[in-house]
Amino acid sequence: MQLTRAGFLVLLWLFVLAALRVVRSDLYAASGLRASGLPGFRRSEKSARGSKAPRQLVVTHGALTGTRISLDGRPILIGRADDSTLVLDDDFASTRHARLSMRGTDWYVEDLGSTNGTYLDRAKVTAPLRVPLGTPIRIGKTVIELRS
């Protein structure tokens, strides 16, 4: 009787451990920020190593304040569309509002024909503009900037 009692408890704990194992191996499978720095996903290690190269995009104002997205060379689409990299929930943003893309070692912002425009440090973005580190980009009520 003692044996069955202990045996059941052991099995119960084995279930807990198995569930934790599932959880552990699942940690990296579904990351909310799809462009975040998963170890296996980082493509441009070289460019990221330069001291001045921007490594992440940070939201500094607006509803998403504090959100960070690691930059890995792929373009970043910003807007209200669900498939954007940064999905804005903002009445002043367009469905496809702006895009940040990398050319060489620099990042460029371009406006994708938004209704209310994209501003790079007060200047309205009409053609692709180079984004220096720490310069605010305003989209609707959201402000983002690149950081190293």
- Side chain identity at residue 44, one-letter code: S
Q: How far is the CB of 51 from another protein (least distance, A)?
A: 25
Residue of 5, 49, 52, 122 that binds another protein (CB under 8 A)? 5
User: Tokens standing for 24?
Assistant: 């552990």
Distance, CA of 146 to CA of 134 (rounded, Å): 5
Q: Is 133 near another protein (CB under 8 A)? A: no
Q: Is 18 near another protein (CB under 8 A)? A: yes
Q: Is 113 near another protein (CB under 8 A)? A: yes
Q: Is the dihedral of CA 43, 45, 50, 52 positive or negative?
A: positive
Q: Which helix (H) or strand (E) holds 107?
A: strand 106-111
Residue of 55, 68, 74, 147 that binds another protein (CB under 8 A)? 74
Q: How far is CA 124 from the centre of its chain?
A: 24
Cβ-contact 57, 69 below 8 angstroms: yes
Size of the site for another protein (CB under 8 A): 49
Q: Is 32 near another protein (CB under 8 A)? A: yes
Distance, CA of 122 to CA of 118 (rounded, Å): 9
Q: Is 123 near another protein (CB under 8 A)? A: no
Q: How far is the CB of 46 from another protein (least distance, A)?
A: 16
Nearest C-alpha neighbor of 86 from the set 137, 29, 148, 27: 137
The interface region with another protein, picked from 13-21, 47-55, 114-122, 132-140 by CB under 8 A, is: 13-21
Nearest C-alpha neighbor of 95 from the set 115, 114, 80: 80
What are the residues binding another protein (CB under 8 A)? 1, 4-6, 8-9, 11-13, 15-16, 18-20, 22-23, 26, 29-32, 34-35, 40-41, 43, 63, 66, 74-77, 81-85, 87, 89, 96, 99, 101, 103, 108, 110, 112-113, 127-128
